[in-house]
């Protein structure tokens, strides 16, 4: 360090040495310039330059909206169709055992929560009613499962509820 030349100015007797910048720092600096040039070419950067990637805010926005619409479309599932697949009903039954049976009973005959196998439905037994009940919960003590279960788990357990609904008399008694 001491062999670095002293610059030709001093301030209150403090002199400045003309040390070169550290190598690693310089290389990082050059690398960042190369990167930013590549970035500026690839993406829209200057007012006249649309970028070679074809990326636009509008397209980005459209993709995220499409993703959201796909989720919304998944909300319009057909529970009857799902319940026609035995493996879906079986998966739904397992979800029901671990999440719902504590309140609704092992066979959904009703405990704290109402019986789900009879034909009495406070909130309706249409697909959208069952899905909304499970997803958002109901004020009388039915928790909202939309934030605990994944969307496909909600539809799966809903398909199970659909499959057992309207099959028995009150409290699970045979019809």
Indicate which single residue of 123, 128, 150, 171 sits in contact with ligand HEC (rule: CB under 6 A).
123
C-beta of 54 vs 124, nearer to ligand HEC: 124
Distance CA 17, CA 3 (A): 9
Q: Tell me which residues in 78-107 interact with ligand HEC (CB under 6 A).
A: 99-100, 102-104
Q: Which residue is nearest to ligand HEC (CB)?
A: 140
Distance CA 94, CA 90 (A): 6
In contact, 138 and 109? CB cutoff 8 Å: no
Indicate which single residue of 68, 122, 136, 175 sits in contact with ligand HEC (rule: CB under 6 A).
122
In sequence order, what are the residues at sequence separation of 6 or more whose Cβ sits closer than 8 angstroms to the Cβ of residue 121?
129, 165
* CA dist list (Å): 41 to 19, 27, 135: 35, 21, 46
Q: Tell me which residues in 18-37 interact with ligand HEC (CB under 6 A).
A: none
Distance CA 155, CA 82 (A): 8
Decide if residue 38 touches ligand HEC (CB under 6 A). no
Decide if residue 141 touches ligand HEC (CB under 6 A). yes
CB of 110 to ligand HEC, least distance (A): 9
Token pair for 139: 């004020």
Span interacting with ligand HEC, options 8-16, 40-48, 76-84, 137-145, rule CB under 6 A: 137-145
Token pair for 53: 């990637």
Contacts with ligand HEC by CB under 6 A lie at 99-100, 102-104, 112-114, 116, 121-123, 130, 133-134, 138-143, 145, 157, 161
């Amino acid at each position: 360090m001491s062999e670095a030349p002293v610059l030709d100015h001093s301030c209150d007797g403090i002199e400045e040495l003309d040390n070169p910048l550290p190598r690693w720092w310089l290389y990082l600096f050059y690398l960042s310039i190369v990167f930013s040039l590549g970035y500026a070419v690839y993406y829209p950067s200057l007012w006249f330059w649309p970028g070679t990637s074809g990326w636009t805010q509008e397209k980005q926005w459209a993709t995220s909206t499409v993703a959201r619409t796909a989720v919304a479309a998944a909300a319009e599932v057909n529970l009857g169709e799902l319940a026609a697949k035995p493996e879906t009903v079986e998966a739904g039954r397992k979800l029901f055992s671990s999440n719902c049976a504590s309140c609704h009973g092992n066979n959904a005959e009703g405990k704290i929560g109402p019986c789900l196998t009879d034909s009495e439905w406070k909130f309706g037994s249409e697909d959208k009613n069952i899905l909304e009940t499970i997803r958002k919960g109901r004020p009388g003590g039915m928790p909202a499962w939309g934030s605990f279960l994944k969307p496909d788990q909600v539809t799966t357990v809903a398909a199970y509820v659909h499959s057992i609904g309207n099959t028995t008399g009150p409290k699970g008694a045979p019809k």
